[in-house]
Structure 1
Amino acid sequence: MRHPSLTFTLPPGVPKFGPRVGRVTLTRDGAGDASTSTAGTGRMLITMDTPNILVGTSRGVVPHLSRDHTHESDAIQWLHVPFESFLEQNPPIPTLQNGPHPLHRFLGFDKDRHIASLSLRDPLDMREMPPNGNTYVSANCVRGVKKVTLSDWRRYVYDMQPDVVFALTDTPFTPPPYSQKRVTKSIERSTAWVADIIRSIPSDAGASEPHTPRLSRHPLNVLVHMAGGTSLPAREAFAHGLRGRLHGPEADAVKPLRCLDEGITGYVFDLAVLRGIKPSSNTSQRQSMPDDFLRLERPEMLEHPESIAGAPTPRMTEEVGLTASGVLSISELSVQPDITSMLKASLGGLSEQKPRLVTGIRSPHEILRLIRDVGIDIFDVAWAMNAANLGVALDFVFPVPASNAGDARQSLGHNLYDPIYKHQFGCIADMFVGAGESADEGAMGRQVCPCIACSPRAPSSPISHSTVDMQSHATSMTGGEAITRYEKPYSRAYIHHLLHTHEMSAHALLMAHNLAVVSAFLAGVRRIWAETEDEGRSARFAVEVERFSDTYEESGGLFIAAKKDWEYVDKARGKGRLAREREKQEDDKDE
């Protein structure tokens, strides 16, 4: 069976940095439906317009959503699987799946609709880990830390056959500062590990050439984590290593590639690492800290401790780079570069014709800034999924309607734990309307949210669980097609009730809704780009970004309040619950 091929197309004349709209196309063997099959070729195309989202999973499952929910969601097109959670067994259970498309079959993804990517580690997991070695990476599973060698990872990848694979990278998850030797070693290891995953397949490996012509003889679609930490020169050095001409044994291993970048499909940036978050054994998974929690790592800090006291502060704005002698000065290394500068340092010498993916996003404001200033194509939505965990229903659109511009700054959503929603029976989002609502109920001028919370669909026919059920019920059809009937949206009051009674369906409804809101948000970005003339696209987009920033609050006050309410409701159970609730009500009255 042929491995799928991922291609990325952009309009001609796209600058290296700045807003852009493209298309990701995955070509795979198999007869898909009419919307995905290429007539007469036996191949299937899955297309995804960018900017767009990547949905992370936990052990291959989108949190709170069933397989049916995942299949029905229009927002879920690209699913990402961190493989370390399967390492408790040897060999890992997913690698035992036989037949075509083993990763999709094992996890229940739809091969006709879903792009599945695989990485060893969860890019949002910032827990402290033992250091990596020259030939292995430390990964975390339920039975502790496992050492995964390069050959192990290569074997897992070829057994699982993901659509996209993330190359291993040597990211230190020990408390900084890091010595110059450690930073250099990280770059060298990461470069060598990229070369290992893209080296040519032996003739007896049984894999065939990909669908589309490539320079390399490996069939994988490889995304590379751009290494270098928070040091701009280190990030530039790693990018230079990817595009540098290979010679000798290194060139023979990846022949006929002239450089590593020719065998790479795209680039990945993990913002959790770039923010300087301190790894800690007590830090729970996916927990993040403020941007200025840690200062920039200082490669020479351990070697020259006397320079710490007199070092400039992170607020300095001078440019970081090499001195005339090519050596980093102390003042240069003490500057904390911003996220945009670090991403540009990595991408400056690389092709703009490859997709750029970012993980660790914190808000829609940050998404818009990275689109405007850098030109990022794919964003993970862990922040929106965490909002659903905390009982927050997102409620924002892009571009901001004229009727909303100029008003007081609005929140990004609603904390449905709050008692003010106890008797609110409208749709959970003000900016959206359900497909089952009519125009006379105020639906005019608002987008339709297709999620299962705003547009719940009644089954078009009885649900059959066996052949007996199929014989007992005749499928209700009209003109040979099933009728789709939408129910009224679930109200804020109903979801507020579900949250306070610890019903799992509350988080399922919120998860589906939040993913739909972020998907519609990026669809608005693409729509602005399509509706504007070429000359004025960037200018109009910049204006719309400013309007969005002026309309919606970026601070995390909403999520902080939701987390407090979630913790209270989570603990308000069991013996003595009524007494605790009565005590809280009395405290609220006193305030």
Structure 2
Amino acid sequence: MAPLNFDIHQAPKEINSTARLGTLSIPGSQPTDQHDTLGNKDAKKRVIETPGCFMYSIKGSVPHLTPDNMRLQDFGGVNVSLEQLLQNDQPASFASKWPKFTLADYLHLQDLILLCDLRDYVSPNPAEKLGPNTDRHVLLSTPKGIRQLTLNDYLQVVRQFRPDIVVAMADNVSLEKVKEQQQQRKTEKQSEAGQEAHAPGEKRIKKSIERTLKWLDQILLEREGKDGLAEDRKMEEEKRRKKEKKEKKRTLDSESTANADKRQQLEAIQPAMQTITTEPWSDVAVFAHVQGALLEQERIRSAVETSARQGVDGFIIDAASVLAIKNATTTATETSSLETKEEVLRLVKVSLDHLPLQKPRMVYGIQTPEDVLKAIALGVDLFDTSYPYQLTEDGKASLYSFGDNVDAIPADINSKNDNRWINLWDEEHADKFVPILVGCECYACKGGRHTRAYINHLLRTHEMLATVLLISHNMYQYSKFFFNVRKSIQEGTFEKHSQAFHARFGVEPVRTGEKHEAQLVVEAALQKRNQRLEGPEGGVAPAIVLGEGQDKQEANGKKRPEVEGKEEAEEIEKKEKKAKKELQDNSADH
């Protein structure tokens, strides 16, 4: 039995689109709307409707969501980055403490399809800091620092963790320091030579493809219970023997010639290599990375040769690294940003055109709704939920929609933001006692229980409930977006609705990483408070003494921050009660 099922229900209907409908499931799965109880070991896996998403996670947990709230989201899988989980002694400690536990058991994700990759492709590009990989290992940024992970280590992790889908170890290239370019800049006497990151060259890209294909072949052999590492051990053994031979020869040459016969006997003794048999793990599906970076011909070669491997169950196209390379080589303007995204999508299409249609394709680094629509039109099946996570981190709430109701949501007339989202850090929302989005059925909006003013207050008082409500809303809107996309593909209106979406919501502004002014003020106040609590002795809070400075502050009419926050909360509560009463009176009059 195959470890993974991918069924295509509807082939592309429209001329200018290759969007298709399908389902990704584990044998014995059930529809996504049947939510199992938390931690139920007998729970059946959900089904991911495609085009669809894996939930983005940090250390195995979906950010800002408790497990019960996570299961309210209409997504059937979770993407876990192994580099965030690995300790120095793992998987050894994991296997000794929980020998019968898989990673899904440990994380209580038995009812979700679990996909594991080595790296987190959402966080800022780590490869620039880690350095290049080698034939023997890749470099990972773990909680305990930078770690070398060999293929043997990787296979031990897979055997113990047993995810539903594992992404084969790959040599992903990104921004690396090219010695030839550095040397050229040194001769030109540029002071910043050697400090800049440059796109990888053709030689480096070809090497990455060869390494990735070799590791993929070894992983597929190991999954069948065969010795995939025999060739590596043979090479290591040959190196060891050559080294020992030189040492022994040097020792014997220093002695008398009477030991010549003994030397010949030592050289003739070479123990035979032993083949190691392992337990197969055929219950784990394998997705393979498609490489090639910016070189079109190499992307084609990687796609063709990867597709030729019969045991591959799906494909990963890393657009995140390509986007990072392109951004580093272009000027950061709005025009260049659009051109860069179009170029990245063109390179993604080059890879997609040479992949088999009957297997799922997942892409990293394509997040915004308009880019997702373009990728779906190219034939991409799977994405992740990093976009709603990034909106939440910025204090933003989604307003966009897709389909027949694209014009049903009015833009805020006085809003400084794009009409696809609002930033609840803005002062203008401090007195808006309305839901984030009227008619939204998410946990935050349903029943009008949480208002924009309330979330604005939570953000400014650094309450964790703010991000809980925001992520609940943003995840719900993202899932609704994909639901309407699948509906439009089924009805043959995907191209029409995509054009309407672009006309209505435009292009997502470039995410610069800059924080809102109010957010900076709050974080500065928190940092100052933490320093005060730690005290001069490091960790010891000083006694609170009413001093001259505090007397002056009270004399000037200034109040302590905690008093101001309490009064602000009481004032907001009064305004909410007043607004609800006015609504009730108006409805009674009518």
Please report the TM-score for the alignment, with normalisation by the length of structure 2: 0.68
**Structure-to-structure mapping, 1:202-241, within 5 angstroms:** 202=225, 205-207=278-280, 218-241=282-305
Contact in 2 for aligned 1:169/1:190 (Cα 8 Å): yes
* 1:411 corresponds to which of 409, 419, 426: 419
Q: CA offset at residue 399 of structure 1?
A: 1.0
The answer for the alignment partner of 1:48 in structure 2 is 48
Alpha-carbon displacement from aligned partner over 1:255-282 (angstroms, at most 9, x marks no partner): xxxx41x21111112222111348xxxx
The answer for the alignment partner of 2:120 in structure 1 is 122
Which of the pair is proportionally richer in helix? 2
* 1:366 corresponds to which of 371, 391, 402: 371
**Structure-to-structure mapping, 1:163-312, within 5 angstroms:** 163-173=164-174, 174=176, 175-200=197-222, 201-202=224-225, 205-207=278-280, 218-243=282-307, 259-260=308-309, 262-277=310-325, 292-293=330-331
* 2:380 corresponds to which of 359, 376, 379: 376
Q: How many residues align?
A: 445
Contact in 2 for aligned 1:400/1:548 (Cα 8 Å): no
Write the distance in 2 (CA, Å) between the matches of 1:381 and 1:116: 14
Q: CA offset at residue 510 of structure 1?
A: 0.7
Q: What amino acid does structure 1 have at the position aligned with 2:278?
A: A
**Structure-to-structure mapping, 1:388-403, within 5 angstroms:** 388-401=392-405, 403=407
Residue 221 of structure 2: SS of its match in structure 1?
Answer: coil
Could you list the runs of 5+ residues in structure 1 that have no partner in the other structure? 37-41, 209-217, 244-258, 279-288, 296-313, 318-334, 434-448, 456-486, 582-591
Write the distance in 2 (CA, Å) between the matches of 1:180 and 1:403: 47
**Structure-to-structure mapping, 1:41-190, within 5 angstroms:** 44=44, 46-71=46-71, 73-92=72-91, 93-96=93-96, 98=98, 102-109=102-109, 111-112=110-111, 114-125=112-123, 126-127=125-126, 128=128, 129-173=130-174, 174=176, 175-190=197-212
The answer for the alignment partner of 1:493 in structure 2 is 453
Write the distance in 1 (CA, Å) between the matches of 2:89 and 2:51: 38
The answer for the alignment partner of 2:23 in structure 1 is 23
Contact in 2 for aligned 1:223/1:265 (Cα 8 Å): yes
Q: Structure 1 pair 505/161, CA: closer, same or farther in 2 (3 Å)? A: same
Could you list the runs of 5+ residues in structure 2 that have no partner in the other structure? 37-41, 177-196, 227-276, 530-548, 562-590
Contact in 1 for aligned 2:95/2:160 (Cα 8 Å): yes
Contact in 1 for aligned 2:45/2:113 (Cα 8 Å): no
Q: CA offset at residue 524 of structure 1?
A: 0.4
Contact in 2 for aligned 1:29/1:43 (Cα 8 Å): no
Q: Structure 1 pair 9/293, CA: closer, same or farther in 2 (3 Å)? A: farther
Q: CA offset at residue 103 of structure 1?
A: 0.8
Alpha-carbon displacement from aligned partner over 1:229-274 (angstroms, at most 9, x marks no partner): 011111011112224xxxxxxxxxxxxxxx41x2111111222211
Write the distance in 2 (CA, Å) between the matches of 1:346 and 1:501: 47
Alpha-carbon displacement from aligned partner over 1:62-96 (angstroms, at most 9, x marks no partner): 1111222223x233321111111223330245454
Q: What amino acid does structure 1 have at the position aligned with 2:495?
A: A
**Structure-to-structure mapping, 1:493-572, within 5 angstroms:** 493-530=453-490, 532=491, 537=492, 540-556=493-509, 563-572=516-525
Contact in 2 for aligned 1:78/1:117 (Cα 8 Å): yes
Q: Structure 1 pair 271/557, CA: closer, same or farther in 2 (3 Å)? A: closer
The answer for the alignment partner of 2:390 in structure 1 is 386
Contact in 2 for aligned 1:276/1:293 (Cα 8 Å): no
Q: Structure 1 pair 341/193, CA: closer, same or farther in 2 (3 Å)? A: same
Alpha-carbon displacement from aligned partner over 1:30-55 (angstroms, at most 9, x marks no partner): 9x99889xxxxx99453221111111
Q: Structure 1 pair 29/410, CA: closer, same or farther in 2 (3 Å)? A: closer
Q: What amino acid does structure 2 have at the position aligned with 1:506?
A: A
Write the distance in 2 (CA, Å) between the matches of 1:58 and 1:402: 32
Q: What amino acid does structure 1 have at the position aligned with 2:115?
A: S
Write the distance in 1 (CA, Å) between the matches of 2:314 and 2:517: 39
Alpha-carbon displacement from aligned partner over 1:381-411 (angstroms, at most 9, x marks no partner): 2121011111111111111526549989952
Residue 27 of structure 2: SS of its match in structure 1?
Answer: strand
The answer for the alignment partner of 1:306 in structure 2 is none
Contact in 2 for aligned 1:136/1:150 (Cα 8 Å): yes
- Structure number with greater CO (CA < 8 Å, separation at least 6) is 1
The answer for the alignment partner of 2:355 in structure 1 is 350
Contact in 2 for aligned 1:230/1:336 (Cα 8 Å): no
Q: Structure 1 pair 421/76, CA: closer, same or farther in 2 (3 Å)? A: same
Write the distance in 1 (CA, Å) between the matches of 2:108 and 2:81: 16
Q: CA offset at residue 490 of structure 1?
A: 0.8
Please report the TM-score for the alignment, with normalisation by the length of structure 1: 0.68
The answer for the alignment partner of 1:423 in structure 2 is 431
The answer for the alignment partner of 1:327 in structure 2 is none
Residue 267 of structure 1: SS of its match in structure 2?
Answer: strand
The answer for the alignment partner of 1:248 in structure 2 is none
Q: What amino acid does structure 1 have at the position aligned with 2:458?
A: L
Q: Does 1:452 align with 2:443?
A: yes
Q: CA offset at residue 101 of structure 1?
A: 5.6
Q: Structure 1 pair 494/290, CA: closer, same or farther in 2 (3 Å)? A: farther
Alpha-carbon displacement from aligned partner over 1:354-402 (angstroms, at most 9, x marks no partner): 1111122241111111112x11111112121011111111111111526
Q: CA offset at residue 291 of structure 1?
A: 8.7
